[in-house]
Structure formats: C-alpha cells, structure tokens
Amino acid sequence: MSTTPKVEHKMSDEKPNNSENLFELYRDIIPDFDAFMDRIRKPLGNFIRVNTLRTSPQKLQNMLGSRGIKSRITRLGGYFLEIPGDIQPGILLEYHLGLFHPQTLTSGIPVLALDPKPDDLVLDLCAAPGGKTSHLAEVMKNTGLIVANDKNVSRLVSLRANLKRLGIVNTVVTMVRGEQFPLETVFPKILLDVPCSSEGRYLIGENGKVMYRTRIGKSLPQVQKQLMHRAMKLLAPGGILVYSTCTYNPDENESVIQYALDKFDVDVCKIDLDFPHENGLKEWKGIKYDRSIEKCWRIYPHRTDSVGFFVAKMVKR
C-alpha cells in the first residue's frame, strides 16, 4: 500500500492507544467480538508466499525442512506457507535467493480475487512495497504487463528491490499520485490496494496498549474515494477492479464501494474463493448501503490467524 498522510487520527473520544475504546466502536459488526479481542492479544501467524517462478512449494518446504524449519501448506494452497513464529523470514538464505516473499496470508486474497491471467494488462495503482505486485506477476507467470505505480520515492526503492530479488520482468514502475494517474490508457484489470488506517494489523500488548498503530488524518476516506474515482476512469468497460484495505473502518471500506456505485456504472461481484470471511455490512451509523455490498468480504484475525482485511470486486458495465 502506498504511504498515508502523516496526520493524527482519532476515533470518537478515545484515549491514545486504549484498546478497549478503539475496538469497542466495532463490537456490533465484528462477529464473536470477545474471541476477536482475545486473538489480537497474541502474535498472528508467520506466513511466506512461495515464488513459483523459481521454485515449488514442495521444494521450498524440503529446503527449509533440511535446516529444521517446519512449514505447512495454508488455506490458500501452495502459494503460501506458514512457518514458526520465531523465524525471521528476511534473514533466511531462501529469502535472499528470491524463493519466497514474507507476506500475510490475507493479503493474498486481493490478487486471487482479481484473478489475473498470463498476458493480461494490469494496473497496480498503489503498488509499493511490492508484495501484491510480485504476487500478480507470479500468477501471470511473468508474462503480460503490470504497471506498478506509487507516489512515494522511498517505498518505490523497496518495490524495485523486491521485484529484482524475485526475478519479476513483466512490470514497469511509475511514480505518480494515484489520484492523478494519466488517463491515456485504460486497463482491463486494476488492483486498488489503498492507503488505510491499518487497523487489521493492530495487536494489543501486555500493557493493554495498541501496537503497530498508524496515526492518520480524518481526510483518509476522501483520499480513498479520490483514488477510487481515478481507478474507475482508468478501468475499461467490462474490466475488473479489486479494492482492498487492511482495516475494519466502514468509512474506508463499504462507504468507498457505495461511492463507486453512486458515481459509476459498476456492479459488485461475488468473490469466488474458499476462505473464511464475513459479508460486507448492510449499514453503518444509520446509513444503508446497496444490497450488493454484502458480496464484499470482511476478514478477521480470529477466523484466519492473519491480518484483518476488506476486499471488494467490481466490474464496469
């Protein structure tokens, strides 16, 4: 995801870092809320994505196993393996050889929902640091063309480094504000993994305070809608767009999808994957959403052992 505005973000009258006040806002929309709160008091699963351009899941498992590192296939099949939580993936030889990429399990869902094919033309509008971009390339078998865009120079350095390490050759990198991406070309498939408040990554420490909290300005939903507006203009008729965040806030999720439905001739599609999820919300703060928004996915850590996510798939008429 691209870099977000570095402005303080507060919800209601919560005290800074107070986990009970922060998540209480979502008690009525997160199923089995007490189990959710218990789960985020512990580290989440440690996942890696196999680089199928260079190896296979079985070969990588054998390499890791030869050094005493156990791994297991996940719900997403051979693309993702889970390894012990005390292993730091970035220091392993296989990482530097480009045989895998450290990536949360749930962050693989947006790419699989977009379902790119070999030789496709795909725009990744907020691409850095490149986890989903490289996943796109692997699914496309390093063919076709991916335009990977981000506005942040330092994050683009990470993007390019990851693409090089993983042997990705079907991607060009651009640096433009997503809201101002040139309209000269339309794309049949667009991944819009927007900057967000990242609540899905929050954990609660032993002292009861929220860890990994991002402080973001109240203008963030407006930025997300601007990115959605541009992406819809860039999407070809009949094209597919997948919108995703790693947050629970409906203002950044369902409300942005409702904006797209109100402004453009688009439909929300069913996500045809087998993975634990809840449906998109019917309403939030008294505002009713279009019924089709129930086809969106809300993904929670107590159901998946991974980061919370929101995913929506849309087609342009």
Which of the residues are catalytic? 246
Alpha carbons 53 and 166: distance in angstroms, whole number:
8
Alpha-helical segments (H) within the chain: 19-24, 33-39, 57-65, 93-96, 109-114, 131-139, 153-166, 220-234, 254-263, 301-304
What 3-state class would DSSP assign to 240?
Answer: strand
Alpha carbons 67 and 254: distance in angstroms, whole number:
45
Q: Tell me how many degrees the CA angle 201-276-88 measures, rounded to the nearest 5.
A: 40
Phi, psi of 82 (to 5 degrees): -105, 135
Alpha carbons 264 and 147: distance in angstroms, whole number:
23
> Which amino acid is it at 1?
M
> Strands 121-124 and 187-193, how do they pair?
parallel
Alpha carbon distances (Å) from 165 to 18, 53, 101, 158, 197:
39, 12, 9, 10, 29
Q: Tell me how many degrees the CA angle 221-277-104 measures, rounded to the nearest 5.
A: 75
